[in-house]
Amino acid sequence: MPTEQTVTESPLARFRAHLERGELAYQVDRVSGRAVFYPRVIAPGSGSDSLDWRVSAGLGRVHAVTVIEPRGEPSYNVVLVDMDEGYRLMSSVIDRPAQDVRIGMRVQARIRPGADGAAPCPVFVAVEEQP
């Protein structure tokens, strides 16, 4: 169920509050009906300030992947994930070796708690597709 954005709380603060509750939230532009991510005050395209908050089911598909191999450290991946609700976000797939992540892979969001005062962030694990 959508909820209205309040003027007293920034979109980033609202997004982080959802993450603290273990939820991946996004906005929907009431004018265009499009999903909006990263959280904003004004919707891209329409310029509307009528944005509703929704909680994502957390399912998506890897759109692009890059493997980073820092010298002397473990490899990791950076992915762009197209979420089923119609928005894209950057994150990482954490449940397998970085080199095993593939474009088109089905993934599910998890919220990684922040460490040492950092904000929590969404990460992904692979999910098996049903035939």
Domain chopping of the chain, boundaries: 3-55, 59-126
Give pLDDT tens digits for 18-42.
999 999 999 999 999 999 999 999 9
Listed residue (92, 32, 42) closest to 67, CA to CA? 92
Listed residue (49, 32, 31) closest to 40, CA to CA? 49
pLDDT recorded at residue 4: 53
Fold of 59-126: OB fold (Dihydrolipoamide Acetyltransferase, E2P) (2.40.50)
Q: What is the pTM of this model?
A: 0.85
Give pLDDT tens digits for 57-93.
999 999 999 999 999 999 999 999 999 999 999 999 9
Q: How confident is the model at residue 7 (pLDDT cuts 50, 70, 90)?
A: low
